[in-house]
């Protein structure tokens, strides 16, 4: 019974990667050009290293070229800008991703805004952010894009529904709000200064948790039948084992909700699938091709 409640991001993300591979194959055949995704990793953050390794593997799996720049922790902002500028001009590179977080001596906003908007497959450039909020076609940040695809599997139109997002980061919370608004939900964003967050969450038909606090959302916070999207990835130790948990207390909330994303295996795999999707989307105009109708992937 409870299996029916689980939104399996592994299955949905595999479908997206398959479709990206198919469409990418057609694009390569039609143009003789292969989409290239450049990933820039600065320093030795273990979590970032794992992410990047995974991204590179999956990029190759869909038949795209992977270009990697692994830079020393001490790289200067000027040197990093020079690399981004070179990638911006490189005709073999259609997507550029600078892995965050960057070391403190580098201004992340400056670097992200240096990436050409048409190659900004993370969707963090101010121009793409502005387009998203204006309802214009843009490259959308991968994690919220993945969450919105999962929500659309349940319901495409959220008219009359309340969506509550916990977290207001530029990477997840804010773009998630724009996407849920686009789906006609009434959207509330909570953050660390929100008072009585529990009461706000209780009103949610769709609850998105993107906080970074292990199992913060308890069953007493959620409405019967709510759809829960858990973005959190928290490494904790339990019974002497290192495990991953979300921002939602999954075991507590499973009975009460109608649908829930597990951690791991929910939102996580969607992020990389959407990165590949964004690389494909970025490639069509750069190769002088019309972007096909991708509603079969996005809905």
Which residues here bind ligand NDP, judged by CB under 6 A?
143, 166-169, 171-173, 190-194, 197, 210-213, 231-234, 267-268, 271
Q: State which residue, 88 or 219, has the beta carbon closest to ligand NDP.
A: 219
User: Smallest gap, in angstroms, from Cβ of residue 214 to ligand NDP?
Assistant: 9
User: Smallest gap, in angstroms, from Cβ of residue 191 to ligand NDP?
Assistant: 4
Catalytic residue of the set 120, 122, 230, 247: 122
User: Smallest gap, in angstroms, from Cβ of residue 222 to ligand NDP?
Assistant: 15
Q: Which residues of 206-244 are buried (b: 16+ CB within 10 A; e: fewer)?
A: bbbbbbeebbbbeeebbbeebbbbbbbbbeeeeeeeeee
**Is 72 marked active-site?**
no
Token output for 76:
């200067």
Q: How far apart, in whole angstroms, are the C-alpha atoms of residue 169 and residue 129?
A: 13
Q: How many helices (H) and strands (E) does the chain have?
A: 11, 10
How many other C-beta atoms are found inside a 10 Å radius of the C-beta of residue 54?
Answer: 14
Catalytic residue of the set 19, 55, 119, 174: 55
Token output for 202:
């209780």
Q: Are 187 and 209 in contact, with CB atoms under 8 Å apart?
A: no
Q: How far apart, in whole angstroms, are the C-alpha atoms of residue 234 and residue 170?
A: 19
Q: State which residue, 23 or 211, has the beta carbon closest to ligand NDP.
A: 211
Angle in degrees, 0-180, between the axes of helices 268-286 and 9-31, rounded to the nearest 10? 20
User: Smallest gap, in angstroms, from Cβ of residue 241 to ligand NDP?
Assistant: 19
**Is 122 marked active-site?**
yes
Q: How far apart, in whole angstroms, are the C-alpha atoms of residue 178 and residue 132?
A: 7
Nearest to 143 by CA among 268, 261, 18, 20: 268
User: Smallest gap, in angstroms, from Cβ of residue 25 to ligand NDP?
Assistant: 26
Q: State which residue, 149 or 190, has the beta carbon closest to ligand NDP.
A: 190
Catalytic residue of the set 58, 94, 99, 259: 99
Q: State which residue, 183 or 233, has the beta carbon closest to ligand NDP.
A: 233
Q: State which residue, 81 or 298, has the beta carbon closest to ligand NDP.
A: 298
Q: Are 55 and 47 in contact, with CB atoms under 8 Å apart?
A: no
Catalytic residues: 55, 99, 122
């Amino acid at each position: 019974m409870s299996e029916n409640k689980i939104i399996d991001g592994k299955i949905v993300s595999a479908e997206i990667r398959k479709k990206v591979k198919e469409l990418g194959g057609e694009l390569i055949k039609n143009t003789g050009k292969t989409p290239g995704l450049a990933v820039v990793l600065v320093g030795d953050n273990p979590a970032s290293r794992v992410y990047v390794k995974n991204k590179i593997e999956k990029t190759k799996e869909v038949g795209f070229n992977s270009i990697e720049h692994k830079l020393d922790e001490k790289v200067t902002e000027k040197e990093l800008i020079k690399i981004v500028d070179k990638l911006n001009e490189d005709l073999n590179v259609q997507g550029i991703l600078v892995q965050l977080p960057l070391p403190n001596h580098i201004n992340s906003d400056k670097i992200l805004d240096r990436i050409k908007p048409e190659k900004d497959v993370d969707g963090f450039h101010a121009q793409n952010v502005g387009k998203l909020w204006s309802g214009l076609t843009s490259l959308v940040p991968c994690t919220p894009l993945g969450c919105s695809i999962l929500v659309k599997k349940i319901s495409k139109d959220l008219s009359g529904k309340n969506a509550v997002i916990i977290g207001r980061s530029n990477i997840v919370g804010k773009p998630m709000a724009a996407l849920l608004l686009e789906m006609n939900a009434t959207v509330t964003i909570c953050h660390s200064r929100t008072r009585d967050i529990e009461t706000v969450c209780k009103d949610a038909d769709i609850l998105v948790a993107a906080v970074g606090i292990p199992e913060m959302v308890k069953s007493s916070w959620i409405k019967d039948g709510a759809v829960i999207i858990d973005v959190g990835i928290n490494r904790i130790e339990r019974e002497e084992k290192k495990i991953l948990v979300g921002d939602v207390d999954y075991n507590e909330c499973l009975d009460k909700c109608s649908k829930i994303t597990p951690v791991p295996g929910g939102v996580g795999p969607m992020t990389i699938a959407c990165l590949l999707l964004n690389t494909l989307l970025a490639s069509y105009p750069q190769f002088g091709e019309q972007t096909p109708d991708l509603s079969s992937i996005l809905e």
